[in-house]
Structure 1
Amino acid sequence: MKGIASVCCFVSLLLLASAEEEEDKEVLTSILRDRSHIEETLRLASEEPSSDYTAALQKLRKIYHSSIKPMEQAYKYNELRQHEISDGEIMSKPMVLFLGPWSVGKSSMINYLLGLQDTPYQLYTGAEPTTSEFTVIMHGEKIRSIEGIVMAADSSRSFSPLEKFGQNFLEKLVGIEMPHKLLERVTFVDTPGIIENRKQQERGYPFNDVCQWFIDRADLIFVVFDPTKLDVGMELEMLFRQLKGRESQIRIILNKADSLATQDLMRVYGALFWSLAPLINVTEPPRVYVSSFWPYDYAPDTSRELFKREEISLLEDLNQVIENRLENKIAFIRQHGIRVRIHGLLVDRYVQTFKDKMSFFSDPELVFQEIVDDPDKFYIFKSILAKTNVSKFDLPNRDAYRDFFGINPVSSFKQLSSQCSYMGGCLLDKIERAITNELPGLLSSISSGKNPTLSSCEATGCGEKPKNRYRRH
């Protein structure tokens, strides 16, 4: 009986200590952090020059539709790159993507930036894996939730291409609209946490392919880590392979830094670099921000001033992306135009070589198979390098054209010399004029502060208004 009484007494003491610890934790987390520096750094109180911004986007949209898209469609570029640019993507706001393992504070960081903590609209957070959906937080006139199937069906948005990932994924896609000054300038995307012991097939949709879709369109990518979750597994390695070539957009965040003593934090910081070094093969590593990005006050006896400076530095980084959003959009469309032009020149060269090799007694399939199997023998790619504005580093993988022409017969394409009309001009001339003159000119007008002039047709969009297939008209 004495033994049982001792055990009961010990359990009671443990419960009492746990209750006191929880009470202390509640007192600590009840103190909300001052958020005034967020509005000051992001300049949320300033007026947005929406008219100039909209006019420039309309001008960019017109250049794309009149000069780049015709060649894109004529030579089926989308079937090679699987990246079709919609009007919604051109007119969309900058996208900030949050990636990382589960329960590292991605959702809490979004709640903090938007001031959603302790409101009915905050993103759900917890110690266990809580986010199982891709959540898109965007601006709207009123607060509402939008199902993924509706987001993908509405062509006025930039998410309609997500339909190709299937219905299972669309059930895991959620949109949240709310009136917020920050969301007038940027869109946040919260992603499911990486769980290393879970196979991709268990998610029911191609998780890595969906991540790649968002990575390709993100203006800023926050990869968030917890000091207690620095292990690198197969899924995280795959994620960093997908980030290759996007190093300038990546920012590493070591979150929950106030949960460690200063000496332990230094060790974790070094361990994080040691874990990521094999995955990021660049001379200059991405910027790493060390702080605790959540609404509550920092833990006592921690580097509060350092964490505050790191937070302001991250906000300035975010603000830079917002302010440069138009320049980045123009540069992206120009880069896309360069790739489309190279693709058109390559297809034209394949078609010309095929016609030169063909004779009355030749087998068309055997002739073209020889060309596709060994393009260097016929100087396909080397001849393109002789063209102006083409770098050898911009040339696509030659093996991709074996699959491309396997689906699209060479006889279905015309040569560039015949892709001209009296009223519309030549496809090659139009895309070269856009790359060389029109897009750089638009960029210069923005840099100099001039408002791009729009004709009445450009101002109204001149085209069919995007429709929602799930809405009655």
Structure 2
Amino acid sequence: MSNLSRQQLKQVWALADSKRQGFLGFTEFVTAMQLVSLAQAGQELTPDTIKTASKMEGVKPPVMDGIDALLAKNKGSRISENDINGSSQLQLSTGTPQFGAKSSRKMPLNAVTSIIDGLKRLYIEKLKPLEATYRFNDFVSPLLTSSDFDARPMVMLLGQYSTGKTTFIKHLLRCNYPGAHIGPEPTTDRFVVVMSGPDERSIPGNTVAVQADMPFSGLTHFGGAFLSKFECAQMPHPLLDEITIVDTPGVLSGEKQRTQRSYDFTGVISWFAAKCDLILLLFDPHKLDISDEFKRVIASLRGNDDKIRVVLNKADQVDTQQLMRVYGALMWSLGKVLNTPEVMRVYIGSFNDKPINEETASQMFCELFEKEQNDLLMDLVDIPKKACDRRINEFVKRARAAKMHAYIISHLKKEMPAIMGKAKTQQRLIDNLEDEFAKVQREFHLPAGDFPNVEHFKEVLNGYSIDKFEKLKPKMIQAVDDMLGYEIPELLKSFRNPYA
């Protein structure tokens, strides 16, 4: 109707849907109409055009062919208020499924309103039954709730004590969050989720874990000892409207961490790593040694390598020659721990509000720190834009993991005898679990790298009777295969830029 070219319409959609949600909300729709109007006036459409459009109060509505006739036609057939309040009420269908319902009515694809909404529907109808049947929530990850899909993107900061994690958050927000403590000693003794909220306040962990609108119900799995060391800090802030930041306790060295913590520290890190969109590993030039506990923490990030970014903080505290040696030592240490052939991206800088120490940092390195800081900030700015793609990626990864888990559980069930010697067979299967994984891999042609950690699987399996597990249900597996092969691609096709 606007008589714009397909290329112009493509640009309008791409600029208006800046978060790549696959749909336009009210604000985005208004922006799109302003861009159409500016394009009709002959202006070139660029990312700066949006800033111009938001400041121009006198942007005229776009000219649309046939829209006046359409409005006149609809005006005569408008439903009166009496009809709505009377017997012929409007039946409004919402695209958000109810997670508590045992049997949810299947919705056609055209009933969903966004990609995230479609993923919720597919999870309830196709993936959740498979996870519940084979106890995926006990072995790998708790069942998802509606808030898990709707949550803002998360950034987690990890590092040894006094590497500047809390200071880094203060630097981003330009202020302290409620309950923040900064000092040279291990000050942050708990996991703190910094979120957007109407006012400044701290919410205890037990309260956060039971709130339906927060995606932290799965943390109840780690018990009350952890929840007493977990809290949510809320404050009104424009950055927190886009992302949520997770501050973690400093990783200590030696035996004191492993013996004094009363909860599964690496398990909690692994849980957050699966939920986060970006993981920042912070290092200090004076603390480059990677302790055994820090090595276990980094190992718990397995499967999330694409999210990890390394930050060499406080780099202005050493001179040029020392910085080169520190950088080389850090890369060498990371190469031994991460076990990847690719070189990890390391950001060098001093991420605090103090001016750079010019006595140790030359002019050249001041410019380097500024460029590195800008690169890291751009990585953070891109998170909301990539959030939808990341959500799809995590959903597909979870679906494949659930399918593999079903193959493993059903194989173990098949190996159990019908009547005699069940306890003896179960113990043999657990002791030789690695060999059983190899059998599953050969039978179903699965990649070896996708199998779960053997020791963790053994530990959980010891608490169950394998004979009580379910046999393989090909219909459930086929439903997940159809979801991955047809329904998710169709969903993406429906909600991507229609003019791309």
TM-score range, shorter chain: 0.7 to 0.9
**Residues 251 and 294 in structure 2, CA contact (< 8 A), matched pair in contact too:** yes
**Residues 277 and 383 in structure 2, CA contact (< 8 A), matched pair in contact too:** yes
Aligned counterpart in structure 1 of residue 340 of structure 2, from 268, 279, 282? 282
Please name the residue that 2:30 is paired with: none
**Residues 346 and 384 in structure 1, CA contact (< 8 A), matched pair in contact too:** no
Please name the residue that 1:87 is paired with: 146
- Answering whether residue 375 of structure 2 is matched by residue 316 of structure 1, we say no
The two structures have a TM-score, normalised by structure 1, of 0.73
Q: In 2, distance between residues paired with 1:378 and 1:142?
A: 51
Q: In 1, distance between residues paired with 2:437 and 2:236?
A: 59
**Residues 330 and 443 in structure 1, CA contact (< 8 A), matched pair in contact too:** no
Residue identity matched to 2:447 = S
Aligned counterpart in structure 1 of residue 246 of structure 2, from 173, 185, 189? 189
Q: In 2, distance between residues paired with 1:236 and 1:349?
A: 35
Residue identity matched to 2:482 = R
Distance 1:230 1:391, change over 3 A: closer
- Answering whether residue 391 of structure 2 is matched by residue 335 of structure 1, we say no
Please name the residue that 1:14 is paired with: none
1:437-456 matched pairs, under 5 angstroms: 437-448=486-497
Distance 1:232 1:415, change over 3 A: closer
Distance 1:46 1:309, change over 3 A: farther
For residues 342-400 of structure 1, give each alpha carbon's deviation from its aligned partner in whole angstroms, at most 9, with x where no partner exists: 3323444455565xx75xxx5262795498477869995156425xxx43443446784
Cα drift, residue 414 of structure 1: 4.7
Q: In 2, distance between residues paired with 1:353 and 1:62?
A: 35
Q: What is the total number of aligned residue pairs between the two structures?
A: 389
SS in 2 for 1:435: helix
Cα drift, residue 65 of structure 1: 0.8
Distance 1:264 1:150, change over 3 A: same
1:243-254 matched pairs, under 5 angstroms: 243-254=301-312
Distance 1:367 1:244, change over 3 A: closer
What RMSD over aligned residues (CA atoms) do the two structures have, in Å?
A: 3.2
Cα drift, residue 70 of structure 1: 0.6
1:409-424 matched pairs, under 5 angstroms: 409-416=466-473
**Residues 254 and 290 in structure 1, CA contact (< 8 A), matched pair in contact too:** yes
1:70-81 matched pairs, under 5 angstroms: 70-81=129-140
Please name the residue that 2:161 is paired with: 102
Please name the residue that 2:481 is paired with: 432
SS in 2 for 1:183: coil
Please name the residue that 2:12 is paired with: none
**Residues 247 and 286 in structure 1, CA contact (< 8 A), matched pair in contact too:** no
Please name the residue that 1:129 is paired with: 186
Q: In 1, distance between residues paired with 2:423 and 2:429?
A: 10
Residue identity matched to 2:123 = Y
Cα drift, residue 286 of structure 1: 1.4
Q: Greater CA deviation, 254-263 or 282-291?
A: 254-263
Distance 1:262 1:141, change over 3 A: same
Distance 1:98 1:407, change over 3 A: same
Residue identity matched to 1:136 = V
- Answering whether residue 326 of structure 2 is matched by residue 264 of structure 1, we say no
Q: Greater CA deviation, 52-61 or 146-155?
A: 52-61
- Answering whether residue 420 of structure 2 is matched by residue 363 of structure 1, we say yes
Aligned counterpart in structure 1 of residue 206 of structure 2, from 149, 154, 157? 149
Distance 1:277 1:340, change over 3 A: closer
Please name the residue that 1:173 is paired with: 230
Q: In 1, distance between residues paired with 2:371 and 2:427?
A: 62
SS in 2 for 1:279: helix
Please name the residue that 1:32 is paired with: none
Q: In 2, distance between residues paired with 1:169 and 1:391?
A: 35
**Residues 188 and 248 in structure 2, CA contact (< 8 A), matched pair in contact too:** yes
The percent identity for this pair of structures is 31
Q: In 2, distance between residues paired with 1:137 and 1:289?
A: 23
Please name the residue that 1:459 is paired with: none
User: Which segments of 5 or more consecutive residues in structure 1 lack a partner in the other structure?
Assistant: 1-44, 418-425, 452-473
Distance 1:203 1:450, change over 3 A: farther
SS in 2 for 1:137: strand
Cα drift, residue 240 of structure 1: 2.2
**Residues 134 and 191 in structure 1, CA contact (< 8 A), matched pair in contact too:** yes
Cα drift, residue 309 of structure 1: 0.3
**Residues 179 and 233 in structure 2, CA contact (< 8 A), matched pair in contact too:** no
Distance 1:264 1:440, change over 3 A: same
Q: Greater CA deviation, 339-348 or 260-269?
A: 339-348
**Residues 128 and 143 in structure 2, CA contact (< 8 A), matched pair in contact too:** no
Distance 1:296 1:396, change over 3 A: closer
Residue identity matched to 1:331 = N
- Answering whether residue 216 of structure 2 is matched by residue 159 of structure 1, we say yes
Q: In 1, distance between residues paired with 2:132 and 2:279?
A: 31
Greater relative CO, 1 or 2 (CA 8 Å, sep 6+): 1
For residues 116-139 of structure 1, give each alpha carbon's deviation from its aligned partner in whole angstroms, at most 9, with x where no partner exists: 15xx85832122222111110112
**Residues 225 and 255 in structure 1, CA contact (< 8 A), matched pair in contact too:** yes
